[in-house]
Structure 1
Amino acid sequence: MAIDYTARAELYVTKRHARRAPAQYKRFNSASEAIRYCIEELPQQALNGSILEVDEQRFEGLAIQALYLAEGYPLPRLSA
C-alpha cells in the first residue's frame, strides 16, 4: 500500500452505529499527522468508522492502522 505521508489529508469520522449522525471532518497538513491522530487520539470504535483521504486514495479503519504500523511511517509511535 503506497502512500505519500507528506501529502495533505482529510479525515471523516462517523459512528457506524448511529444512523444519520453527521461525520466529523478534519484536515491535516500531512497524512502522517492524520494517521497519528486516528491511532493515538481516537477511540477504537471511532477508528472503525473513519475514512482517510490522501491524494484521492481512501483508507478505512484497519487500513489506517496498517499505515501507522508500516515500516515507512515517518513519525515516532507511542510505546506499547
Structure 2
Amino acid sequence: MKTIDFNAEASLYLGRDWRTALEQGSRRFPSAAKAIRFALEEVPPVSLHGARMIVDGRSYSPRDLQKLYGDRAYPLHRKADRDAILIEPFND
C-alpha cells in the first residue's frame, strides 16, 4: 500500500459509485486521519463503495481507507475494534 502523511490535508469523495461521488464533489478535511475517521465511523457503508480520498495528489480506495484506519500508525482514537475493521468487503 502507498505511504501516507496522516497530517496532510485531504479531499474525500463519497457515493454509491465513483460517478456519484464525483458528481457530489469532495469534502475537505484538515488531515487525512480525520477524513479516514469520518469515512469509517460516520458515513453509511453504501456511500463508501464509490469513495476516494485524495492526499498529496495520491488516490486512496475504500479498501485503502480500511487498511489505513486499522494501521498501527493511525494517530487518532478509533470507535471500532481494530481487528473488526475489514468485515465489509469493497471492490476497488
- TM-score, normalised relative to structure 2: 0.76
Deviations 1:9-36 (A, max 9, x none): 00111222x87x8224200000000000
Q: Distance in 1 between matches of 2:80 and 2:60?
A: 24
Aligned to 1:34: 35
Tell me how large the CA RMSD over aligned residues is.
2.0
Aligned to 1:55: 56
Unaligned runs of 5+ in 2: 82-92
Q: CA deviation at 1:47?
A: 1.2
Q: Distance in 2 between matches of 1:4 and 1:46?
A: 24
Unaligned runs of 5+ in 1: none
Large movers: runs of 4+ above 2 Å = 21-24
The percent identity for this pair of structures is 35
